[in-house]
Amino acid sequence: MKRILKSSLPLLLLLAFAVGLRAQNCSNFIAYQSPSFPYKFNSQSKSATCESGKTYKFVVTMQSDRDYKFAFYASAVFNNEINFKVIDQSSNKAVLDIPGKRSGENGKSALEPQVFADHEGDYPSFDFHPQSAITVQIEIAIQKNEKEDVKRGCVGVLIQEKKSDQVGF
């Protein structure tokens, strides 16, 4: 019995290691991203394990005396087939609508940084300068090709903030 246990222990360790590699800790996905100076990390930033074919939403409050920068991140497993929207909750209008690459579509995806002339770094980011306090809803829709299995991966929204440079009335 001891001999069987000793010989199967390396196999069990290898199996546990393989399962650990397959599992993703998406709650810390955003923690590995660094805010760009002079911005600081905003606690409303979120990341989670998401599935293709689903839509995820969360609400962010922005203050008028702050400038904000939103950066969107996604696991490579989604192949940029993600739509990101920022919707002003007071008017229910989209402030930002970034369509990802559609399944089977050739060409550039909105999530590929080359599309944005003012983009710096690996992922697209967008600046917001609210004139008054505003609440926005961030909507993340992950597309699913009907021929493929459900994909799971990390998606994150890094929200950065700094004191507003605008002064006066």
In this predicted structure, the answer to whether residue 67 has a pLDDT above a threshold of 80 is yes
Which pLDDT score, from 0 to 100, does residue 126 have?
85
Residue 14 forms part of a structural domain: no
Whether residue 9 is contained in a domain is answered as no
Q: What is the pTM of this model?
A: 0.70
Model pLDDT for residues 119-129, shown as the tens digit of each residue:
344 456 788 88
CATH, residue 136 = 2.60.120.680
20 occurs within a structural domain: no
Residue numbers of the domain that contains 74 = 25-163
pLDDT of 113: 35
Average pLDDT, the chain: 75
Within-domain flag for 146: yes
Does residue 168 fall inside a structural domain? no
Sequence-distant (6+) residues with CB within 8 A of 119 are: 113, 125
Residue 96 forms part of a structural domain: yes
Mean pLDDT value of segment 89-102? 82
